[in-house]
Amino acid sequence: MREYKVGDVVVSKAGHDKGLFCVIRQEAEFLLLANGKQRPLEKPKRKKPMHVAPSGLPGIAVPETNKQLRAELARSMTGNDEIRGDGGV
């Protein structure tokens, strides 16, 4: 089984939360995932590593706000390293 670390960008393979997430913490055998929108940093999704897959995108530094997390995930998907002045996505 693959090991994930904090900041890895992963894809949830199944369920109603299918899609792109960032690993923000690990608890025992679970990963805590957030994307800043459906799953905010304050209420991360708990998933077993077998239910996620590597996204192939570069890892990110886990930001302090949901807005920053959404921007970082969008930036990693586009490969754009420019930081927008308005902080938006």
pLDDT digits (tens, 9 = 90+) for 67-83: 999 999 999 888 755 44
CB atoms within 10 A of CB 75: 18
Q: Which two three-digit tokens encode residue 14?
A: 């199944």
Beta bridge partners, 27, equal 30
Total-model pTM: 0.81
**What pLDDT does 77 receive?**
82
Domain ranges of the chain: 9-78
Cα–Cα distance between 69 and 60 in angstroms, integer? 9
Cα–Cα distance between 89 and 29 in angstroms, integer? 32
Does the pLDDT value for residue 88 go beyond 50?
A: no
CB atoms within 10 A of CB 23: 23
pLDDT digits (tens, 9 = 90+) for 6-50: 999 999 998 888 888 999 999 989 999 999 999 999 999 999 999
Does the pLDDT value for residue 57 go beyond 60?
A: yes
